[in-house]
Amino acid sequence: MDRLDLPGADLRYDAQAYPPAQADALFAALLAEIPWQPHRLRLFGRDVDAPRLSCWIGDAQAVYTYSGTRFEPRPWTPTVAALRDDLRRRLGAHFNSVLANLYRDGRDSMGWHSDDESELGREPLIASLSFGAVRTFRLRSRATREAALSIELEHGSALVMAAGTQRHYQHALPRRARVAAPRINLTFRRIASV
Ligand SMILES: O=C(O)CCC(=O)C(=O)O
Ligand SMILES: [Fe+2]
């Protein structure tokens, strides 16, 4: 994995964690296995559909509270469990949950945020796997909102966000009008049991 230059943060990237043929097979399996659902968001006092489909998957006790809603995890699917086990071998990290996102095309996106919910602990380790369309992942300073880094997340890539990344930065996946193909992203996390 290559260490990316982001002051105060440990961010690593492997553009080809899974070679193209394997990444194609993983994309197809994830698309078919995961029960993709629209997720309602509360935005300025109104309930709207998030601009993507998603699914929270994990161990039964890995309950996640986000914007006041309790998310009970769905059970592991075979492919998501195999990727979790692979990440344990590669990184020595035991992830017990994952947020799966399906960006149907370039109109789907994710707004600025940090993954800093208290269940994730003080310095969360998050492994983000991408399959399908290449999309831009942006980071900006939490304090100044200044742009910090922009990465094209490749088909079959792995991005590991460790110490400092959530504390000092926000990230987002902007819309890309010209992208017609779908993308799947899995962010593996460890939720502290309560
Ligand atoms: O799709 C991505 O690359 C980012 C997803 C993300 O930030 C998240 O699930 O928290
Ligand atoms: Fe995130």
pLDDT above 80 for 68: no
pLDDT tier at 189, thresholds 50, 70, 90 = very high
Query: Is the Cβ–Cβ distance between 101 and 54 less than 8 Å?
Result: yes
d(CA 159, CA 86): 14
pLDDT tens digits along 23-65: 999 999 999 999 999 988 887 888 899 999 999 999 999 988 7
C-alpha closest to that of 100 among 43, 26, 165, 166: 26
ipTM exceeding 0.95, yes/no? yes
Would you list the domain boundaries of the chain?
2-189
In Å, how far are 5, 162, 166 from 148, measured between CA atoms? Answer: 9, 16, 13
Which ligand lies nearest the alpha carbon of 166?
Answer: 2
Amino acid type, 42: R
pLDDT tens digits along 134-182: 999 999 999 999 999 999 999 999 999 999 999 999 999 999 999 999 9
pLDDT above 70 for 67: no
pLDDT above 70 for 76: yes
What residues are in contact with ligand 1 under a 6 Å CB criterion?
A: 99, 101, 110, 115, 128, 137, 153, 171, 173, 185, 187
Q: 39 C-alpha to center of ligand 1: Å? A: 14
| Torsion sign across C-alpha atoms 177, 161, 68, 79 | positive
E strands, the chain, where? 2-3, 11-14, 37-43, 46-58, 64-66, 69-71, 97-103, 110-113, 126-132, 135-141, 147-153, 157-161, 169-173, 183-189
Which ligand lies nearest the alpha carbon of 114?
Answer: 2
Pocket test for ligand 1, best of 97, 108, 131, 137 (most atoms within 8 A of CB): 137
C-alpha closest to that of 134 among 172, 164, 161, 173: 173
Q: What is the pLDDT of residue 130?
A: 99
The CATH fold assigned to 2-189 is: Jelly Rolls (2.60.120)
